Chains A and B, each alone.
Chain A
């Protein structure tokens, strides 16, 4: 059950929609699903670095977000990552924030 909205089985987020005719998704077969999930975790961790948070998959069905002080939060859909991360740090995570973008640019430089 989703801890934010209290709804069962709500993981039909547009980024990983349930495969059906005409809908674009990488949530198709096991291999694609695993690969995309791994990529999302990897990218999410880079985006969470400035807030010193980490996310990991938990038993292939949920996600665990953890803070450097040991706080953890489990949720079932990546749709809840950003509200959960904001709740955990008490700070907004804004993709339009110049400082945040600057950190990401430095990260791109570092990866080059």
Chain B
């Protein structure tokens, strides 16, 4: 199995988000009843003056913190940081019950990226907490329409590691298969689970390493399935006005070895310029000079520390990267990658620099 990227002393953080009324709190309530979640601290973010969601949760104790400033996207970055720091110091002083996991439930309009970024880049938080995954609820009654009309909903699904489909048992539920297909088009790298059939385990996976075989094969088969329309520029003309008409996923299968230095420069430059339009990058890389694969995993401008995996998941030694982008041309991204890879190979193997590559 893969190596463990998260040192044992870092507390995993699960983000739970989803559109307004999509069943986040119901799901959280169910999760908290599971013994696996017995020692979880919960941060709840509310949009509006008076928080209500925490009243709906049965478990109100010192480990449930209500963030009051409303929308998590912008104003609450500092508040998330303060709340987590406070929880951490209270835990170390035994002022609150011990917790071994944090769940952050965000408001339905929030883009999860700023909070994710806060945890990963905050000089104190990053030594105490690590992002485990992003769980997004989509309800079977309104989800399909919201994905058509609201970019926030599309961004949330784009950032998801796990998409939970709720309310499939309601009479008004629309065609679940069609919704599943829509979700897999938007984000083939996310796992899709039906809320009623899910267990706590489904939500606790560490997105960067666990079940990498699963997401990789699923993501690739799905994006291959949808590969054809992706490369045509005018394939979705009939969908103008839809929030997701320009959002698409595609995968790059790269035959040559990847130069790590060049790849770092390329992706950093790409995300600097287009990060708000790259909802997700997830891939497994065959790095020049390395026997084992390296997994990368990013949401918008945030890239998690690369994971050195212990083995190739499907024994196929080949780099594969899945992108979810909004309005960027897949062919151009692929071309750009190859130019950078060739350039770094040329520049770095010329005289003067110590040889980068080892004989394989």
Which residues of A does B touch, CB under 8 Å? 5, 7-10, 12-17, 20-26, 35-36, 38-40, 42-44, 46-47, 78-79, 81-83, 86, 92-96, 98, 101, 104-105, 107-108, 111-112
Contact = CB atoms under 8 A, between A and B. Distances in A.
Interface in B312-349: 328-329, 332-333, 335-336, 339-340, 342-344, 346-348
B169 to A, nearest CB: 40
9 closest cross-chain pairs (CB), A and B: A15-B264, A22-B5, A22-B3, A24-B308, A82-B272, A111-B346, A24-B306, A17-B305, A14-B303
15 contacts: A12-B126, A14-B306, A23-B305, A23-B308, A24-B294, A25-B305, A38-B353, A38-B354, A40-B261, A43-B344, A46-B347, A47-B265, A96-B274, A96-B328, A101-B335
Contacts of A26: 260
Given A95-B336, A96-B336, A104-B340, A43 B123 contact: no
A4 to B, nearest CB: 11
Interface residues of B, number: 52
Contacts of B268: 13, 15, 78-79, 81-82
Given A43-B262, A108-B339, A108-B342, A82 B356 contact: no
A86 to B, nearest CB: 8
Contacts of A96: 270, 273-274, 328-329, 332-333, 336
Contacts of B122: 7
Contacts of B346: 107-108, 111-112
A24 to B, nearest CB: 4
Nearest to B308: A24
Given A8-B123, A9-B123, A96-B273, 6 more contacts: A14-B296, A42-B347, A42-B348, A42-B353, A81-B268, A95-B336
B326 to A, nearest CB: 14
A57 B310 CA distance: 34
Given A35-B354, A36-B261, A43-B347, A23 B307 contact: yes
B91 interface: no
Nearest to A31: B354
Query: Most A CB atoms within 10 A — which of B274, B303, B336?
Result: B336
Given A7-B121, A9-B123, A95 B307 contact: no
Interface string B178-222: 000000000000000000000000000000010000000000000
B140 to A, nearest CB: 36
B347 A23 contact: no
